[in-house]
Structure 1
Amino acid sequence: MTAPIARRRRRGLTHLIVAGALLTVGALTGVPAAHAAAADDIRINEVVTTGDVNDSIELYNKGTTTIDVSGWILKDDDNSSKYKIASGTSLAPGAYRAFDVHDKFGLGSGDKARLYLANGTTLVDSFSWSEHSDPSWSRCPDGTGAFGKAALTLGAPNACGTGGGSTTPVAWPGSGTVGTADASNVFGEDLSGLYQEGNVLWGAQNSGKLWRLVRDGSGGWTPDTTGGWSSGKSLRLPGGSGSPDSEGVTLTGSGSANGVYVASERDGDASGTSRLSVLKYDVAASGSTLTSGREWNLTSDLPSTGSNLGLEGITWIPDTYLTGAGFKDATTGTAYDPARYGTHGGGVFFVGVEGTGMIYGYVLADSGAFTRVASLSSGMSGVMELQWEPQAARLWAVCDDTCDGRHRTLTVDASGTFSTAAVYDRPSGMPDYNNEGFALAGADECVSGSKPVYWSDDANDGGHALRKGTITC
């Protein structure tokens, strides 16, 4: 049932009180009419108040002209709290831009988000709430509607009740029993993304390291002792300088012979600055260090986020599935056409953002160019891992203990976009570990309707970073 709307007027502005939240809309005062009309098209469109994970305010341009918001100021309910929008920032018509304000101020359970012109005194828009977002306070429809609780969609259209399967968590679709899959204290902390390639398990570690693991004969994995892999190989940015904060790892349909792709959120040598990149490595190279031969730096194309809240997961989905499923290219608004992008590895790379729970799809051209073809919410406050499972034609999005170890599967729906198909609790026998990696065995390992799956525990709980379970095929 739609919440009743109470209206009251004060100083020429209209205030709406909806479901306990106060929303200020209407024309600006003390600003020339022409400027006020344009500026008034910038709306606070989404607010996320999940504290350590994210404190963000999204702006949306509901008008028909591009508006320069350089120097505009965001505040909470404290006038001394100020986040100044960087110079050179503008919003095109229909554009979304999220600002992570947690370094300047926190958004509490009873608080407000306010947007001011650069003079710091002219209020453009305001939204107040009396409880934390769960996970998001979002306008529906975008830019004009009332705020309500919705899935987190920073930098993209709000989730206004469209598409998807049930979001009620159900039991893990496999055995509840989970065991260790590594020897004691092999990796230590910070083992993150995983990807299984037959008899090899690739692992990305945050310290700028890539592991090549082989089977240990007892159902687990151990470092490859050949080719200089016994302690993992150190990763470097192109040119040999800089150490990527390697979080996710994936391959294309051509396998590791065509390179291993690593998602990184920053340069470990400049850890306070976001650098949201996908890096390609030739893993056949000799020596204990691998230098990236290609970087796709996506930072400028993505909403800003904390330097340690960036790209966490990455996976590759083949063009053949996307075209067959009727996947819609968000760039063109029409059916995805791989031929439009030239040589690009035969698929789309999907990356997941820890701090927002958003998933973005990119065509990464061999030339180094990139095009974003999808922006979607995982429905969770954070994404730690993404995995494409070709056998079941579904995209897995995995969260850590931030979300109680939940897993979601997404498939392309009738509208041509990925939407939630199912939500799974973690296996009943696995504590709420800080799992940042997840990998599924291939169809060739199905036995009696089940196959292995693996998790990597960033905290190395109990001296183990790898665990093994099962899932139905």
Structure 2
Amino acid sequence: MPEVRAPRGRRRPAPLRTAPLRLAVVGSVTAAAAVLAPAAHAAPADDVRINEVVTTGQVNDSIELFNKGTAAVDISGWILKDEKNGSKFTVPAGTTLAAGAVRAFDVSGSFGLGSNDKARLYLPGGSTLVDSFSWSSHSAPSWSRCPDGTGSFGQAPLTLGALNDCGDGTAPEAWPGGSSVTTADGPNVIGPDLSGLYEEGSVLWGAQNSGRLWRLVRDGSGGWQPDTTNGWTSGKSLRFPGGSGAPDSEAVTLTAAGAAGGAYVASERNGDASGTSRLSVLRYDVTSGTGGSLTATKEWNLTAGLPAVGSNAGFEAVTWIPDATLTTAGFEDESTGAAYDPDRFGAHTGGVFFLGVEGTGSVYGYVLQDDGAATRVATIASGMSGVMELQWEPQAARLWLVCDDTCSGQHRTMRIGADGGFALAAVHDRPTGMPNLNNEGFALAAAEECTGGTKPVYWADDGNTGGHAIRRGTVDC
């Protein structure tokens, strides 16, 4: 039977515009959801458009829909297909798409999206075509409409579950510091897979994604070497609570309590079950014991509340921002749509953890409570294809977002804007003296180390290029 395209129909009087995309709390973990409008309608179907398509495997094959209209639409039972009529994914019952909202659907369990394929959207029953998009090469990483819902498709950063990144118009600037970069560790001491860094005064903490945490101390010549006391000589292997598994430890940070308050490690999976995502933050006591391993004292497993990603494309970055900093800046809690209020939560670390995802380039802010509950309070589109490191720089009140060689080593900084959200401040190329390395870690020295207008910064090279995992440069104070 020939496909019948949905009629546009007469335009209805415009109702009041509903709220933009927000986040609803499900249990104690926050999950992405469209805000329900006062009343959903089934037509006009022309308001709903295919908005983003991902085929690369960075995340599961997905199709995102956008409601460009002025009223909510009930899309229960609508059908997504690829180029084959026998393939179909049915939108679950009770699914409503608010005006101006997006909703992404993982279709990989129903069909795969190839390099030369199409995505098609149908009304319930599968005979009335609403929208379609065809392509002749894989997304890199995303095929996205710009502007959302109305523009043409083009290659763009992956933003499933959020409005598309249609470019901010900001040209990259030169690195804001010296162009020279030198090695900062001994040859073949740490080895490959060093992925996350955090400087705490005279200690540099390093997360290695082979499930190991390093405590590095100064070597007297501007570099770092392993601490040889208390079992840290070769780093310490990490375990999940109970002593099992091998966390794929990608990043590490501390809170205002320093090491005494525990080291917080972001992990994307259990190495003993490497094909399954396990997007977790793990807390480790790093100030006692002399053994060669550490067992997590707490785990916050956030997998269920986040868009699905490949098992090796999850959390790559973590940093912590104090509550006082956020409230002073007027930070907005997206779970309420109001100013962030730390008193809403039970006992927690006195701040918010921000986590970067490799596969989507998204950044999520979570309050992690002492009782194991977690609430998502922020979702940030980085504008990059992947976020490999995050660092909060207190003295400059800016958030650093770092990409690896897939983005040619681009760095971005963001600040909290007048609307309470994080806004782009600058885009920087890597220092000219550093090759395009697979840098997955980045750390900044404290303000006290500022000399002559600059201070040290360090990068962790996952590839251990030339036998060195850590490099040193400078950034303007």
TM-score by length of 2: 0.83
**Partner SS for 1:227:** coil
Q: What's the offset of the Cα at 1:138?
A: 3.6
Cα 1:175–1:331 shift into 2, 3 Å:
same
User: Where in structure 2 are the equivalents of 1:54-453 lying within 5 Å?
Assistant: 56-60=61-65, 62=67, 64=72, 74-77=80-83, 93=98, 94=101, 96-99=103-106, 101=108, 105-108=112-115, 111-115=117-121, 123=129, 125-129=131-135, 136-139=142-145, 144-149=149-154, 152-159=158-165, 167-286=170-289, 287-453=291-457
How many residue pairs match? The answer is 438
Distance 1:157 1:456 in 2: 31
Q: Please tell me whether the aligned partners of residues 194 and 206 of structure 2 are also in contact (alpha carbons under 8 angstroms).
A: yes
Q: Please tell me whether the aligned partners of residues 64 and 160 of structure 2 are also in contact (alpha carbons under 8 angstroms).
A: no
Q: Partner of 1:13 in structure 2? A: 6
Distance 1:85 1:346 in 2: 43
Q: What's the offset of the Cα at 1:412?
A: 1.1
Q: Partner of 1:28 in structure 2? A: none
Distance 1:437 1:443 in 2: 20
Q: How far does the alpha carbon of each residue in 1:119-166 deviate from its partner, in whole angstroms, 9 at most, with x for none?
A: 777755422346766764444665x433455654222233467xx7x5
User: Where in structure 2 are the equivalents of 1:47-58 lying within 5 Å?
Assistant: 47-48=53-54, 51=56, 53=58, 56-58=61-63
Q: How far does the alpha carbon of each residue in 1:195-232 deviate from its partner, in whole angstroms, 9 at most, with x for none?
A: 00000001111111111111111111111100111111
Q: Please tell me whether the aligned partners of residues 167 and 420 of structure 1 are also in contact (alpha carbons under 8 angstroms).
A: no
Distance 1:13 1:146 in 2: 19
Distance 2:166 2:188 in 1: 46
**Partner SS for 2:396:** coil
Amino acid at match of 1:57: S
Distance 2:178 2:75 in 1: 54
Q: Partner of 1:44 in structure 2? A: 50
Distance 2:91 2:276 in 1: 15
Q: Please tell me whether the aligned partners of residues 233 and 288 of structure 1 are also in contact (alpha carbons under 8 angstroms).
A: yes
Q: Please tell me whether the aligned partners of residues 397 and 408 of structure 1 are also in contact (alpha carbons under 8 angstroms).
A: yes
Q: Please tell me whether the aligned partners of residues 81 and 121 of structure 2 are also in contact (alpha carbons under 8 angstroms).
A: yes
Distance 1:447 1:238 in 2: 42
Distance 2:226 2:351 in 1: 29
Amino acid at match of 1:299: T
Cα 1:127–1:347 shift into 2, 3 Å:
same
Q: What's the offset of the Cα at 1:39?
A: 8.6
RMSD (CA atoms): 3.2
For structure 1, list consecutive stretches of 5 or more residues without a partner in the other structure: 1-8, 16-33
Cα 1:37–1:65 shift into 2, 3 Å:
closer
Distance 2:382 2:422 in 1: 9
For structure 2, list consecutive stretches of 5 or more residues without a partner in the other structure: 9-39
**Partner SS for 1:167:** coil
Distance 1:285 1:117 in 2: 61
